[in-house]
Amino acid sequence: MAPSNPLANWEKVGDSFYRKIPVYDAIFDEDVELENYIVTGAPCGGVIALHRDESKPIRLRDTQTSRSSIDIYSCSGKQINRINWDQASIRGIGWSDKEELLVVAEDGTVRRYFGLDGDFTSFSLGNGAEEYGVRACQFWASGLVALLSNNQLIAVSKYDEPRPKLLAPCPEGEVSSWTVIPPAQTLSRSVEVLLAVDRTIYLIDSTEAEDKVLQDGPFKHVSMSPTGLYVALFTAEGKLWVVSNDFQSKISEYDTKSRVPPDTVNWCGDDAVILAWEDEIHLITTDGASSKYYYDDRVHVIPEFDGSRLLTNDSCEFLHKVHDVTEDIFRLGSSSPASVLLDSVDQLEKKSPKADENIQMIRSSLPAAVDSCIKAAAYEFDAYWQRRLLKAASFGKSALELYNSDEFVEMTEKLRVLSAVRDYQIGLPLSYEQYLRLSPEGLIERLISRHEYLLAIRVSDYLQIPADRIYVHWASQKVRVSSGDDEAVCKLIVQRLEGKPGISFEIIAQTAYDEGRSHLATQLLNHEPRAGKQVPLLLNMEEDELALDKAIESGDDDLVNYVLLHLKSKLPLASFFRMINTRPMASALIETAAQDDDIELLKDLYYQDDRPIDGSNALVSESLRETDPERKAEKLVLASRLLADSKDPTVVLQQKLINEASQLMKAQESLDKDLADRSEFLGLSLNETIYRLVRAGYGKRAHKIQSEFKMPEKTYWWLRLRALVAKRDWGELEEIGKNKKSPIGWEPFYNEVLGAGNTKLASVFVPKCTTLPVADRIEMWIKCGMIVKAGEEAQKAKDINTLELLRTKASGPAVTEIERMINQLKPRK
């Protein structure tokens, strides 16, 4: 085949060249009358949606079009799917960058079709869309804005968790055209809208509408360039303006001399605007230069960020600006190094020495020339010229001593993938830059949604990208279309996917379940290695017990809680308890959760489980929460009753203690009534109660309570001691000191009183501490400041050394006393 002229279809517009590359031909059947359709294309060479334009007359005998539908074609004209539309009339069709079809109905219903198989989710715009009706919609890569008939704007900025939000109210007036500015190009980082109202344009964001104060409206078209730098405006006088994005300066103006405004105004890359009438296209660069193309029949423009696809019945073309590298090489009379390098390949084939001459000539810029050739190959659609340019690059780098060939190798890989998917049978006319933007993973996703599994697997192997999603999609599709019996399908799938890592059987099972084949779903689910993944589906399938077991198996408490929450609301209490009974983790989680928010459930649980102590404790805990004393008491009675008739010593003790609590509360209430104006005793512990009574001087009542509650003597004595010391009731303490015996000994008395600073009284207790060693008692005396007494103690023990020590500490008359004792002890000579 003779090589096509690389300059074919080049058109000089102003200073730069544009070229129109024919990608596919014979797209649609003759009987598809494109002029009657609204055509929207997914970005990056994606599929095309055709929807009959309802404003156009319908031929009656055409049965197919009588029902509203959307047809989805690949760029090469292969019909992929037909979506029947049974909702209110369509007001907007658009694509997300993930090739999801968005259809907005007049009543604000939005359907998002994903995967091209007709599966969809839907949500409603709300915010008054239903009352006023949607007038039009504009889409960007990940969201949409709808314009209601009352000029309100509703924005949805993501589809997986759609959250329709009203933008700032728009001023009154006739909206003649509008466009969205994607969040990536706004300062606020959220979507904004340009709205042409009457003679001017408003910039509307979520909080305010800013008037750009223009005079030359109404503008029939507004369009923002892909990078957001420029805005194209089409005025009522038939002029196209390109202005900067702040509307401060006009970049260019072009007079179409047409009274009829074009059907569409789109950007072609960032440097040119395409105006399209029925069968005529004007390309206007930002410099104001223009070029015109004429067609035989209706032409549709599908904008891309780096150019435009032009679609007619016969052909699909890609119109874009010729890249500088390409221009440098192919422009007539070009003598750039890369061009020379390309030429030398020709010479080489002719075995002409000029090949080497060429190389010598450009030696200094050879590396750059090689780079240029590699780059230019990227922008070629024709395999011949790709090869040619790569050959030139290869020849050039062979003449270089050091050259990193990574880029070269990568480029060959990329071009190979690109040419595979550009094939008309696949129909993905990706340009090189679109491929970069789409990413290899995105490309595979697209192949999957076209059911091109084999190619997808080959590409992913070639590029070393995980292929599990392809397998899973394949299997899901298998489940959907196969009608064989469940065993066979399951076996087939498992066999084919065996040994492939990362396969999510859960997704396949979900598909099976959605198809109503729950037996198959269960079987498939058994092959899912991740227990946690199985749970939600099992719940859906009402395999409750299995779901609970799998959740527990996963060890994920959240998952278990989730299942339990689900089961609790679904099952009758008895069967719910039965289910958690045998699963300790489940019952532990239920118990913990119920302690906070569902004490009734807890009580039932304990009752069913025959756990009386737990049950009574739940009541005690409730009693503690009550504010009213009577209610508190009631709960305690209930708690105690639960424990009746048991012989288990633990239970008996528990019951006793609970009864004691009731008893104490009663006693305290009467104390409060008798002794205090307000609640003072209620809620104190028994010890505190007695302590306070003693301190307040109600010794008798304290004693009464002590005996009533059988408080140990020791404790009682301690309490009395501490309370009296706190009260500084020295008399009473002295009185107690007259007792012969104390259950806690006398040392505590000494210590506490001394600690309170009363040395005199403390000293009273020293002689009573008869069990202590002498040395301790001496120390005690000293602490009271009674050296003489200490001396006496030492003298009794015949301890001269200590006496000597004491003498040093003594002062005043004590000194002589001590000396006297020393002398007494000293052996008489």
Partner 1 sequence: MAPLGDADHCRDKARRDLLALLEGARGKKNLVVSQELAGPVSLFIKFSVLQEYGVDRVFLLENANIDSSQRNVVFLVRGEKAQHVRTVAQQIKRLQNNGNVEHEFSIFLTPRRTLVSNAVLEEAGIIGDVNIAEFPLHFLPLEQDILSLELDDAFGDLYLHKDPGCIFQSAKALMGLQQRHGYFPRIVGKGDNARRLADLLLRMRKEIDAEESSGLADPSARGLLPSADTESLIIIDRDVDFGTPLLTQLTYEGLIDEYVGIKNNQAEIDTSVVGQASGPQAQESSKSPQQAKPGLKRKIQLDASDQLFNQLRDANFAIVGDILNKVARRLETEYETRHSAKTTVELRDFVNKLPAYQLEHQSLRTHTNLAEEIMRLTRSETFRKILDVQQSNAAGIDPINQHETIEELIARDAPLKNVLRLLCLESCMAGGLRPKDLENFKRQVIQAYGHQHILTFWALEKMELLQPRSSATTMLLPTSGQTGTKTNYGYLRKSLRLVIEEVSEKEPEDISYVYSGFAPLSVRLVQCVLQKPYIISLIKGGTPAASVNNASTGSPGWLGFEDVVKSARGSTFSIVQKGDDKAVRARQTLSGNNATKTVYVYFLGGITFTEIAALRFVAAQEAPRRKIIICTTGIVSGDRMMDAAIEKKSFANAE
Residues 474-503 touching partner 1, rule: CB under 8 A, are: 501-503
Q: Which of residues 160-179 bind partner 1 (CB under 8 A)?
A: 161, 163
Which long-range CB contacts under 8 A does 406-409 form with residues at least 24 apart?
407/371, 407/374, 408/370, 408/374
645: left (phi > 0), else alpha (psi -120 to 50), else beta?
left
* CA–CA separation, 512 and 533 (whole Å): 15
Give the tokens for residue 746.
């006398």
Minimum CB separation of residue 631 from partner 1 in Å reads 11
Q: Which of 37/576 has CB closer to partner 1?
A: 576
* CA–CA separation, 156 and 227 (whole Å): 21
Choose the binding region for partner 1 from 100-108, 211-219, 485-493, 580-588 (rule: CB under 8 A). Answer: 580-588
Phi, psi of 754 (to 5 degrees): -65, -40
Minimum CB separation of residue 805 from partner 1 in Å reads 23
Choose the binding region for partner 1 from 217-225, 558-566, 799-807, 820-828 (rule: CB under 8 A). Answer: 558-566
User: 564 and 548 in contact (C-beta within 8 Å)?
Assistant: yes
**Contact flags string 648-687 toward partner 1, x per CB under 8 A:** -xx--xx--xx-xx--xx-------------x--xxxxxx
Choose the binding region for partner 1 from 236-244, 305-313, 475-483, 619-627 (rule: CB under 8 A). Answer: 619-627
Q: Which of residues 317-346 bind partner 1 (CB under 8 A)?
A: none
Q: Which of residues 17-76 bind partner 1 (CB under 8 A)?
A: none
User: 151 and 175 in contact (C-beta within 8 Å)?
Assistant: yes
697: left (phi > 0), else alpha (psi -120 to 50), else beta?
left
In the list 334, 561, 608, 758, the residue contacting partner 1 (rule: CB under 8 A) is: 561
621 interacts with partner 1 by CB under 8 A: yes
What SS3 class is residue 10?
strand
Minimum CB separation of residue 530 from partner 1 in Å reads 5
Number of C-alpha atoms within 13 angstroms, CB side, residue 226?
16
Q: What are the residues whose beta carbons fall under 8 Å from the beta carbon of 668, sequence distance 6 or more?
A: 681, 682, 683, 684, 689
User: 803 and 821 in contact (C-beta within 8 Å)?
Assistant: yes
Minimum CB separation of residue 627 from partner 1 in Å reads 5
**Going along 407-447, which residue ranges are E strands?**
none
Secondary structure element (H or E) that encloses residue 385, with its range = helix 383-398
157 interacts with partner 1 by CB under 8 A: no
Q: Which of residues 695-714 bind partner 1 (CB under 8 A)?
A: 709, 711-712, 714
Phi, psi of 105 (to 5 degrees): -95, 165
In the list 625, 631, 728, 809, the residue contacting partner 1 (rule: CB under 8 A) is: 625
In the list 213, 383, 400, 624, the residue contacting partner 1 (rule: CB under 8 A) is: 624
Kindly report the number of other CB atoms within 10 A of residue 213's CB atom. 10
Instruction: Output b/e per residue, 43-66; b: 16+ Cβ within 10 A.
Output: bbbbbbbbbbeeeeeeeeeeeeee
Minimum CB separation of residue 505 from partner 1 in Å reads 10
In the list 253, 715, 769, 805, the residue contacting partner 1 (rule: CB under 8 A) is: 715
Q: Which of 184/657 has CB closer to partner 1?
A: 657
772 interacts with partner 1 by CB under 8 A: no
Q: Could you give the C-alpha distances from 652 to 143, 612, 649, 659, 685, in angstroms and in order?
A: 69, 11, 5, 11, 21
Residue 650 C-alpha from the chain's centroid: 50
48-52/37-41 β-pairing: antiparallel
* CA–CA separation, 162 and 416 (whole Å): 38
Q: Which of 309/701 has CB closer to partner 1?
A: 701
Minimum CB separation of residue 6 from partner 1 in Å reads 39
* CA–CA separation, 274 and 270 (whole Å): 11
What SS3 class is residue 824?
helix
Minimum CB separation of residue 598 from partner 1 in Å reads 12
In order, the DSSP letters of 32-58 are --GGGEEEEE-TTT--EEEEE-TTS--
Q: Which of 635/777 has CB closer to partner 1?
A: 635
Q: Which of 286/534 has CB closer to partner 1?
A: 534
Give the relative orientation of helices 584-597 and 573-581 as an angle to the nearest 10 degrees: 130
Minimum CB separation of residue 657 from partner 1 in Å reads 5
In the list 80, 463, 613, 676, the residue contacting partner 1 (rule: CB under 8 A) is: 613
Q: Which of 52/550 has CB closer to partner 1?
A: 550
Q: Which of 629/699 has CB closer to partner 1?
A: 629
Minimum CB separation of residue 781 from partner 1 in Å reads 19
Q: Which of residues 626-645 bind partner 1 (CB under 8 A)?
A: 627, 629, 632
* CA–CA separation, 67 and 87 (whole Å): 11
Q: Which of 379/717 has CB closer to partner 1?
A: 717
* CA–CA separation, 206 and 166 (whole Å): 7
In the list 16, 554, 608, 646, the residue contacting partner 1 (rule: CB under 8 A) is: 554
Minimum CB separation of residue 650 from partner 1 in Å reads 8
Q: Which of residues 402-441 bind partner 1 (CB under 8 A)?
A: 441
Phi, psi of 110 (to 5 degrees): -120, 130
User: 100 and 83 in contact (C-beta within 8 Å)?
Assistant: no
Q: Which of 673/796 has CB closer to partner 1?
A: 673
In the list 4, 89, 188, 439, the residue contacting partner 1 (rule: CB under 8 A) is: 188
In the list 722, 737, 758, 825, the residue contacting partner 1 (rule: CB under 8 A) is: 722
Q: Which of residues 364-403 bind partner 1 (CB under 8 A)?
A: none
Minimum CB separation of residue 461 from partner 1 in Å reads 12
Choose the binding region for partner 1 from 27-35, 410-418, 462-470, 603-611 (rule: CB under 8 A). Answer: 462-470
Q: Which of 404/627 has CB closer to partner 1?
A: 627
Return the DSSP state at 196: E
Tell me which residue has tokens 């602490």: 783
Secondary structure element (H or E) that encloses residue 601, with its range = helix 599-609
Q: Which of 398/595 has CB closer to partner 1?
A: 595
Q: Which of 253/680 has CB closer to partner 1?
A: 680
Minimum CB separation of residue 651 from partner 1 in Å reads 12
Q: Which of residues 582-611 bind partner 1 (CB under 8 A)?
A: 584-585, 588-589, 591-593, 596-597
Minimum CB separation of residue 594 from partner 1 in Å reads 11
User: 729 and 695 in contact (C-beta within 8 Å)?
Assistant: no
Q: Which of 16/617 has CB closer to partner 1?
A: 617
Q: Which of residues 727-766 bind partner 1 (CB under 8 A)?
A: 744, 751
Give the tokens for residue 537.
């589906």
Rg of the chain on CA atoms, in Å: 47
Preceding omega of 218 cis (within 30 degrees of 0): yes
- Give the interface size with partner 1 as a residue count (CB under 8 A): 74
Minimum CB separation of residue 501 from partner 1 in Å reads 5
Q: Which of residues 492-551 bind partner 1 (CB under 8 A)?
A: 501-504, 529-532
Minimum CB separation of residue 101 from partner 1 in Å reads 23
